[in-house]
A = this chain, B = another copy of it.
Amino acid sequence: MPYDYEKDGAAIYKQSFATIRAEADLARFDPEEEPIAVRMIHAAGLVGLERDIRFSPGFARAARAALAAGAPVFCDARMVSEGVTRPRLPADNAVICTLQDPAVPELARYMNNTRSAAALELWRPRLAGALVAIGNAPTALFHLLNMLEDPNCPRPAAIIGCPVGFVGAMESKAALWQAQPVPCCIVEGRLGGSAITVAAINAIASRAE
């Protein structure tokens, strides 16, 4: 076997997080936020991402308390829901993505919106107190904000708003950050995506590194 490399998963994590803490500027994060930011940088492979990460006051505590209380995690994409490390969840929490629900294509046509946005309508019955994770579609985050404009819409406990890309990502995250209907976390600008979002969920779920 000619290629020699670190094969111990725990050692790989430890060395990775040590590298991030040596290279990234994490001083503005409090002890609740810092491990979340570190794991987001880890998933992105990108020191410097910390400059774009924003936590609203109380976000980390609200999100952790929701999971500890058994709240579900609602995700806009299967790449997000599939990435959550189930054994890290504190209460065997449900991790739910409704994008493939058979009702969604027709609902999207009716709403004249994307399937990613339409899928959120199916969250309403369990949305109260939930952790919401938008890691792919700007249209999902915009639609969530519009749902929450209705005072009768159930309130999630916290929102991770990290859609990625070139159309609407920056704008939808800026809108979330300005409105702050509940405690939230964003990555400003174009960066974001499922891996960064999953990392935030996994860090909220457990302090184990």
Residues on A facing B (Cβ under 8 Å): 1-3, 5-9, 12, 15-16, 19-20, 42-46, 78-79, 82-83, 112-115, 117, 138-139, 142, 145-146, 149, 164-169, 171-172, 175, 189-195, 198
Let me know if A3 and B191 touch, CB within 8 A. no
Total identical chains: 2
- Cβ 8 A contact of A166, one of B7, B19, B78, B145: B19
Bound-complex Cα distance A78 to B78 (A): 9
Name the residue among A5, A113, A138, A171 with the largest chain B CB count within 10 angstroms.
Answer: A5
A5 contact from B8, B20, B138, B198, Cβ within 8 A: B138
CA of A83 to CA of B82, assembled, Å: 10
Given A45-B165, A194-B194, residue A7 in contact with residue B83 (CB < 8 A): no
In the assembled complex, which residues on chain B have CB atoms less than 8 Å from the CB atom of A190? 45-46
Q: Are A7 and B139 in contact (CB under 8 A)?
A: yes
CB distance from A190 to the nearest CB of B (A): 4
With known contacts A9-B114, A142-B3, A146-B1, A16–B79 Cβ distance under 8 A = no
**Would you call A5 and B171 a contact (CB within 8 A)?**
yes
Q: Which residues of B contact A6 (CB under 8 A)?
A: 139, 167-168
- Residues of B close to A42: CB separation below 8 A: 165-166
